[in-house]
Chains A and B, each alone.
Chain A
Amino acid sequence: MDPADLSIAEAGARLRSGDFTAVDLLAAVRRRASMTEAILHAYLTIDADGATAAAEAADAALSRGEDRGLLHGIPIAVKDNMVTRGVETTCSSRILSGYVPPYDATVVERLKAGGAVIVGKTNLDEFAMGSSTENSAYGTSRNPWDPDRVPGGSSGGSAAVVAVGSALGALGSDTGGSIRQPASLCGVVGMKPTYGLVSRYGLIAFASSLDQIGPITRTVGDSVIVFEAIAGHDPSDATSYRGDLPDARADLEKGVKGLRIGIVRELSGDGIQPGVAAAFQETLDRLRDAGAEVREVSLPSTEYALSAYYLIAPAECSANLARFDGVRYGPRIDGASVEEMMSATRRDGFGPEVTRRILLGTYALSAGYFDAFYGQAQKVRTLVSEDFKEAYAEVDVLVTPTSPTTAFAVGERADDPLAMYLSDICTIPSNLSGDPAISVPVGLDDDGLPVGFQVLAPALGEGVMFRVAAEVERLSGFDGRPALASSEGAA
């Protein structure tokens, strides 16, 4: 078997048993990248020298008996909104073209400390704003299952590389579903941890109170491995959680017998594509058969969640993106005054979606509008959290389809922001509440496109979330690879 087709867990075992080296493994994923990248355009930067050096160092360490853990020697891709020392980091924006950060994000440091080999930086919607990667200033990534379709977004590049094996795992970031939705559309596992469990230091902020970094992997077990490697308190992030980490691994094999699983009335009706609804229902039936008790619960405030999100996220982004002004880094367009230079640089540097959100956010925070917009949105946020709390008094986890639809065609929603925003209807509530959620692929629809099943849990409920996700994975038996990833696909 091609090492690029292995899970992180399997590859780790075979590295240690001497079947292949980290250098071999890196070569395998690079071969896969060279087969697929011309079609997918999932990587923005491949750090050939850095990855080779890291793989060689991983082999040398292992031969000395130094084992850094489950990611030792494993090729991992990183979304290009996490800074990497010495490797260009652009956020898929012209405004950061050529920007080479002087420091590593905490998650990157942790991956390196765990012996991981960072293959390169993956494409995203500019500043993580979008659901398709069509908003990248450096070209749209493609869905490995059907290159005429989008991979989802904003972590579309990370989802696509994992789906085809041009990395064994990847980091994404999730502000309103940006890990889970592309994982769903690409047939891989994507997980958003509880807010605060993974440091945001070095994640180029989109919306600080919503952003969270998490793993995109082929299996639920791999998701646990990457989550454990990157989670934990970081003194450089004041919003980082200081308590004990939830045990993500202890209950993985326990199944769902006796667990109470809630389906959300407001997220299971209209607007869900029939193929998605069918796959969702089939998975529910299997869970019920496996001994879970399935109940319907209501999250009445969900109706307002999307509106609240589209005030809070743009408001925060309008301040977060203010620093890109041409003064200290990035390209600069000259002007007659400092103000004109800043305006010209920003006008040229930001794409239309980013500009739209900065304008929305600036407006929402303006004097006289703050209470009506931002203030009101924060109240909705509190209501959403309260809805979740009430629901979790009755059930252990909630489940929904991850995305109302499977992958849509490139260009289909590009000119319709509202339709695009609806892609995230099922994922946004857990960003507002800060709770963990995971998308697990459960099968293909009639068009051969993957469908994702989302498991949501209360804050710090990663244990039960992974437990249910592992059972969903077992019950669905989904282990598909897009044709593009097979050797025939190379032809």
Chain B
Amino acid sequence: MTYEAVIGIETHVELQTNSKMFCGCPTDFGAEPNTNVCPVCLGLPGALPVPNERAIEWTVALGLALGCEVSQHSLFHRKNYFYADLPKNYQISQYDLPLCIGGHLEVEADAGTRRVGITRVHLEEDTGKSTHLGGGGRIHDAEGALIDFNRSGIPLMEVVTEPDIRTPEEARAYAQELRSIVLALGISDARLEEGSLRFDANVSLRPKGDEELGVKVEVKNMNSLRSLQRALAFEIERQAARLEKGEAIAQETRHWDEEAGRTEPGRSKEESSDYRYFPEPDLVPIHTNPEAVERIRSALPELPALRRARYVELGVEPAAAVTLVMNDFAGLFDGAVAAGADARAAANWLTGEITAHLNRTGESPVDLAIDAAGLAELVGMIEDGDLSATAAKDVLNGVLAGEGSPRQVATSRDLIQISDESAIGAEVDAVLDAHSDEVERIRGGEDRLIGFLVGQVMKATGGKADPRLVDRLIRERVS
């Protein structure tokens, strides 16, 4: 039988506000454990939360970018559960009155455009981070645990979709597009490797064509686009195999094990939670003023879909436009074009060599040693004939290695092309004099020998002559 998967995704996005959600502690990643903490985010007796207004505004901004309605009256609730890295043993979250409801996001996947409904966008606080000692890092056979509360209280936005997604590829495309929007809004660094973006998914299968939904399984612990796609693919296959054998699907929570490449059932304790939500009495209701919402709406930056369309209009290939936006190259690209670079050429460098460099080093675009002006300079030098295509790659490598601007690198590495016609002309004349036989044979119709003569000139100039110019000068002289 053919099955159709029905997938909904919950995405947690860590916001990059300066301070935490309910206290003034810094949010920077990588600080010494338990240094970015205070009575509030440690849950000390007597401490009280005060909401971060910037985080609320950013959540509204994302909601607007996703076409959501912003609730005029919204509430924080307490979500009660005991966990060692949750300092108050309740999480301040939102329940039946989230900040934003009812939007959508259009994503492109193999099957075409999919409109994914957004159920809600809400705001909550992150937990601390446990490290289990011994026992392979797993809680049930660990010898002990260390808890770092630096992450405790970092603003965490949750974006929940309707069960509109049908394939792992669509899920990945959705996550990719959401990440691009978050980056465009500048509300999160969206670094997957630092856990700034985390995914949970609900997956069920039903015979293709059926309306009725199958039994839902929640898959947790997917921290990259790739693991999201892999986990869903595994889970769909697992469920399909069971259904084929006539076995029932258990409604459960399963954890994705990245190394094993499979989902494993969670412990039953975690499933039977009753979170006993009730309105957080330490906070007052959030009343969103419609004028403030309009201010946020009018300050929204260009969103990825519009940005891609604009890039295509500038002459960029559609596939390259997708990559530019996806890889967060908008700043570099727009800056280079504004500095006079040819759009298509700039796009090619970014989606080609520079993307390859990022993949190799694992860096982000913000870490790059080349800026928009440098990229424009590089493109310009090639256009002006100062750099050959081969030399340009060397120059880029030098720039990325921090050796200086493209012109500085080209000069210090002695890669500037000779495109002075009289200088090259003299070299051409000398080569033609030394190869009179070949010249005669060319004149006799053996055109392929032109290449040989070009090579001789290049050799004589140490590879610095512009080969197109050499070719033209030889042809002029032998004709």
With a cutoff of 8 Å between Cβ atoms, the chain A residues found around residue B43 in the complex are 323, 328
Cα–Cα distance between A83 and B45 once the two chains are bound (Å): 8
**Does A339 count as interface, using CB distance less than 8 angstroms?**
yes
Kindly list chain A residues whose C-beta atoms are within 8 Å of the C-beta of B461: none
Instruction: Select the stretch in B85-93, B163-171, B357-365 that faces chain A.
Output: B85-93
Contacts A323-B87, A325-B89, A370-B278 given; indicate if A101 touches B51 (C-beta within 8 A). Answer: no
Mask, A350-370, CB within 8 Å of B = 1, is: 000000000000100111001
A466 interface residue per 8 A CB criterion:
no
Q: Mark A67-96, 1 if CB is under 8 A from B, else 0.
A: 000000000000000110000010100001
Stretch at the interface among A176-184, A235-243, A269-277: A235-243
The complex places the Cα of A92 from the Cα of B185 at a distance, in Å, of: 50
B49 on the A face (CB < 8 A): yes
Within 8 A of B (CB), among A296-318: 315-316, 318
B246 an interface residue at 8 Å Cβ cutoff? no
Q: Which B55-88 residues have C-beta < 8 A from chain A?
A: 78, 80, 82, 84, 87-88
Q: Is B338 positioned at the interface, with any CB of A under 8 Å from its CB?
A: no
Partner of B283, one of A204, A238, A338: A238
Interface stretch (choices A42-50, A195-203, A260-268): A195-203
Min distance, Cβ A429 to any Cβ of chain B, angstroms:
18
User: Is the CB–CB distance between A319 and B90 below 8 Å?
Assistant: yes
Judge whether B82 and A339 touch: CB under 8 Å.
yes
B315 at the interface (CB under 8 A from A): no
Q: Are B90 and A89 in contact (CB under 8 A)?
A: no
Q: Which residue of B lies closest to A343 (CB)?
A: B82
A315 with B278, Cβ < 8 A, contacts A322-B80, A322-B90, A323-B88 known: yes
The answer to whether B80 and A83 touch across the interface, beta carbons within 8 angstroms, is: no
> What are 20 residue pairs bridging A and B, where the CB atoms are less than 8 Å apart in the complex?
A82-B46, A83-B45, A91-B45, A101-B44, A208-B282, A238-B49, A238-B51, A239-B281, A316-B281, A319-B90, A322-B80, A322-B89, A325-B84, A327-B87, A327-B147, A328-B44, A337-B140, A339-B82, A342-B84, A367-B276
Report the minimum CB–CB distance from A330 to chain B (whole Å).
9
Known: A323-B87, A323-B89, A327-B147. A374 touches B46 (CB 8 A): no
8 A Cβ contacts from B260-304 to A: 269, 274, 276-278, 281-284
- Compute how far the CA of A490 lies from the CA of B51 in the bound complex, rounded to whole angstroms: 53
Smallest CB–CB gap between A327 and chain B, Å? 5
A329 at interface by CB-CB < 8 Å: yes
A205 at the interface (CB under 8 A from B): yes
Closest partner residue, chain A, to B283 (CB atom): A238
Judge if A489 is at the interface, Cβ distance under 8 Å.
no
B192 CB-CB contact with A under 8 Å: no
B46 touches A83 (CB 8 A): yes
Interface size on A, residues (CB 8 A): 45
Complex Cα spacing A205 to B88, Å: 12
The DSSP consensus for interface residues of chain A is: loop
Instruction: Give the secondary structure class of B's interface.
Output: loop
Complex CA–CA separation, A237 to B23 (angstroms)? 11
A351 to B88, alpha carbons, bound, how many Å?
20
Q: Once bound together, how far apart are the Cα atoms of A291 and B427, in whole Å?
A: 120
Given contacts A91-B45, A202-B46, A204-B46, contact A319 B284 (CB under 8 A): no
CB of B50 within 8 A of chain A? yes
Report A-chain residues with C-beta under 8 Å of the C-beta of B84.
325, 327, 338, 342
For residue A20, CB closer than 8 A to chain B, the reply is no
Say yes or no for B195: interface residue by CB 8 A criterion.
no
Closest to A200 in B: B48
| Distance between A354 CB and nearest chain B CB, rounded to angstroms | 14
* CB within 8 Å for A365 and B82 given contacts A103-B39, A238-B283: no
Contact B284 A238 (CB under 8 A): yes
A101–B45 contact, CB under 8 A? yes
Known contacts A365-B278, A370-B278: A319-B78 contact under CB 8 Å: yes
Given A322-B80, A325-B89: A101 in contact with B276 (beta carbons within 8 A) = no
In the complex with contacts A203-B46, A322-B89, A329-B44, A367-B39 CB distance below 8 A: no
User: In whole angstroms, how far apart are the Cα atoms of A50 and B88 in the complex?
Assistant: 30
Residues of A with C-beta under 8 A to B278: 315-316, 319, 365, 370, 374
Residue B314 at the chain A interface, CB threshold 8 Å? no
Whether a CB of chain A sits under 8 angstroms from the CB of B133 is no
> Which B residues are within 8 Å of any A CB, using their own CB?
39, 42-51, 78, 80, 82, 84, 87-90, 139-140, 145, 147, 269, 274, 276-278, 281-284
Q: Which residue of the partner chain B has the closest CB to A196?
A: B284
* Chain B nearest CB, measured from A361 CB (Å): 9
How distant is A118 from chain B, measured CB to nearest CB, in Å?
A: 16
Q: Are A105 and B46 in contact (CB under 8 A)?
A: yes
Give chain A interface residues in 225-241, CB to chain B under 8 Å: 235-239
| Chain B residues whose C-beta falls within 8 Å of the C-beta of A203 in the assembled complex | 46
Residues of A within 8 A of B (CB): 82-83, 89, 91, 96, 99, 101-103, 105, 200-205, 207-209, 235-239, 315-316, 318-319, 322-325, 327-329, 337-339, 342, 362, 365-367, 370, 374
Residues of B within 8 A of A316 (CB): 278, 281
Tell me the complex Cα distance, A20–B177, Å.
75
Q: A239-B284, A362-B276 are in contact. Are A201 and B47 (CB under 8 A)?
A: yes
Distance of A437 from chain B, by nearest CB (Å): 20
Instruction: Report the bound CA distance from A238 to B280 in whole Å.
Output: 11
B148 to chain A, nearest CB (A): 12
Minimum distance in angstroms from B19 CB to a CB of chain A = 13
Q: List the A side residues contacting B44 at CB < 8 Å.
A: 83, 101-103, 328-329
Closest chain A CB from B53 CB (angstroms): 11
The interface residues of chain A lying within 8 Å CB-to-CB of B284 are 238-239
**Chain A residues with Cβ under 8 A from B46's Cβ?**
82-83, 101, 105, 201-205
| Among B49, B88, B282, B283, residue most surrounded by chain A Cβ atoms (within 10 Å) | B282
What is the distance, in angstroms, from B402's C-beta to the closest C-beta of chain A? 44
List the B residue with the shortest CB-CB distance to A203. Answer: B46
Please name the residue on chain B nearest to A361 by beta carbon: B276
A82 to B, closest residue via Cβ: B46
State the CA gap A237–B47 with chains docked (Å). 9
Which residue of chain B lies nearest to A208 when distances are taken between CB atoms in the complex?
A: B281
Contact between A239 and B282, CB atoms less than 8 A apart = yes
B282 (CB) vs chain A CBs: closest residue:
A208
Verify B274–A238 contact, CB threshold 8 A. Answer: no
Tell me which residues across on chain B come within 8 A of A235, comparing CB atoms: 50
Complex Cα spacing A308 to B398, Å: 73
CB–CB B45/A99 < 8 A: yes
Known contacts A339-B82, A365-B80: does B281 contact A209 (CB below 8 Å)? yes
Whether the Cβ atoms of B274 and A366 lie closer than 8 Å is yes
CA distance A239 to B51 in the complex (A): 11
Chain A residue with Cβ nearest B22: A238
Which residues of B have CB within 8 Å of A323? Answer: 43, 45, 87-89
Tell me if A204 and B147 are in contact (CB < 8 A).
no
Residue of A96, A238, A362 touching B282 (CB-CB under 8 A): A238
Knowing that A238-B48, A318-B80, A319-B89 touch, tell me 7 more A-B residue pairs with CB under 8 angstroms. A101-B44, A204-B46, A316-B278, A322-B82, A322-B90, A367-B274, A370-B276
